[in-house]
Amino acid sequence: MHIPRIMLSAIRSRIGKTTISIGLMRALKNRGYKVQPYKVGPDFIDPSFHYFATGRHSRNLDSFMFKANILETFQRNFKNADIAIIEATMGLYDSHDAIDEKGSSAEISKILKCPVLLIADVERMSRTVAPLLLGYKIFDRDVDIKGVILNRVGNPRHAKKVRLAAEKLAKMRVFGVIPRQEVVIPDRHLGLIPAHERDEFVEIFDKLADLVEKYVDVDGIVTVAERAEELDEVDEHPVFRKEKTNVKLGVVMDRAFSFYYQDTLDAFSSKAELVYIDALNDKKLPDIDALYIGGGFPEVFAKELEDNKKLRNQIYEFCESNKPVYAECGGLMYLSESIIVNNEEYEMVGFLPLKTEMHRRFQAHGYSIYKVIKNNIISRRGDTLIGHEFHYSKVLPSKKLSFAFKVKRGFGIEGYDGIVLNNTLATYIHLHVLSYPQMVYNLIKAAKKAKD
């Protein structure tokens, strides 16, 4: 199977990888290419930028959560595209521990037989770039590093020095030399700002595209991508096969709640009709059989969520009626009694007997492995869940909580997670459908049972 593809990786985090990746995606789109974006790792925010840069939903490639299905999601989502651009995570060889490659961008590149371009920050550096690049080349010769983009160059004299060092000493092709520039994507406490919150991002993306067109050999990158090795074709995972259904699954999707894996939504949409709900503006809960509330930034929109009392009350009644409700992270916070932000308390749905409080530092960040200890609407006792936690909030229970999960790796809520009340499950872990496909079948089964 021929899929033109390239991975943009880096020597470490925070050196312009996302900026350059988005610029390349946008430049190719502006040239008329149908660009399919991908993101290595569990991140939600970079994929939202990819969507606005390309017009296509970005897909996560995470070998810690679903290594066996990397090829499947890569191929299935490439349909009708011209070129795949994969934005790596962290440094090329960074993994979940110091020894093996599990979860690294390098591992993904090998699974996909994908050529790699390194991005190197050469600020305050000249000849030293050569041994740095050589180290990346020889560390794992199975990783197909095709060249480098030198970022944050100071002036033309500096540019000439680092280019010569990379080409003559490291014997690495230079695909671009980019000067320090002012076009940046602002940060926020949870990472990068979700794209749909900022109207000016389209303008920023076009500026990034202009930057890439000016300083990067886009034609050369396309040629490398087109020469990528053929892939063995794999079958589509059955969880994505369309089935006749009369189940309606409500999905809360708005500025406050936007952390969903598109593959997970695709899987649910193959088994149910998805009905989207805006928790900030909708005044009435639609006719649905089950409800899915993903993560996001409820603390940022706490006042607006509090003000929409009509919808909060209807969601409370829906939970009380024993209809299935699945909430992840921000969804858990929304179902609580209140969210405390900077000593200000905002009323939420009030179904779960707890409050959540925001902290300045991470309360959890990283991969999680849970053991299911109690049957619930998405999983069965004895199963193992592999997912990701990423939050600044902490649970303050007002009553004893009943949990469905025991934490084997990660944080959760004092060693447990998956709060169960009636037919509601609220958890800090973010699950991807390909790490636990049963979540779709089980939730739809629970919805059908409640409907009947």
> Quick check: 15 and 121 in contact, CB under 8 A?
yes
Nearest C-alpha neighbor of 271 from the set 296, 303, 298, 238: 238
Q: What is the C-alpha to C-alpha distance for residues 94 and 89, in angstroms, rounded to an integer?
A: 8
Q: What is the C-alpha to C-alpha distance for residues 442 and 300, in angstroms, rounded to an integer?
A: 32
> Quick check: 22 and 50 in contact, CB under 8 A?
yes
Give the strands of the sheet with 393-397, arranged side by side: 344-347, 338-341, 354-358, 393-397
Give the residues across from 451 on adjacent strands.
none
What are φ and ψ of residue 35, in 5° steps?
-100, 125
Q: What is the C-alpha to C-alpha distance for residues 125 and 216, in angstroms, rounded to an integer?
A: 20
Helix (H, G, I), strand (E, B) or coil at 397: strand
Q: What is the C-alpha to C-alpha distance for residues 387 and 385, in angstroms, rounded to an integer?
A: 6
Q: What is the C-alpha to C-alpha distance for residues 76 and 320, in angstroms, rounded to an integer?
A: 39
Angle at 35 between CA 30 and CA 38, to 5 degrees: 135
What are φ and ψ of residue 366, in 5° steps?
145, 180
Rounded alpha-carbon distances, angstroms, from residue 44 to 53, 281, 328? 15, 23, 13
Q: Cα 267 to the chain's mean position, in Å?
A: 16
Query: Which residue type does 232 have?
Result: D
Nearest C-alpha neighbor of 6 from the set 232, 233, 231, 227: 227
Angle at 131 between CA 125 and CA 135, to 5 degrees: 125
329 counts as catalytic: yes
- Beta strands 145-153 and 116-121 are parallel
Q: Which of 327, 329, 364, 372 is catalytic?
A: 329
Angle at 125 between CA 124 and CA 127, to 5 degrees: 155
Residues known to be catalytic: 329
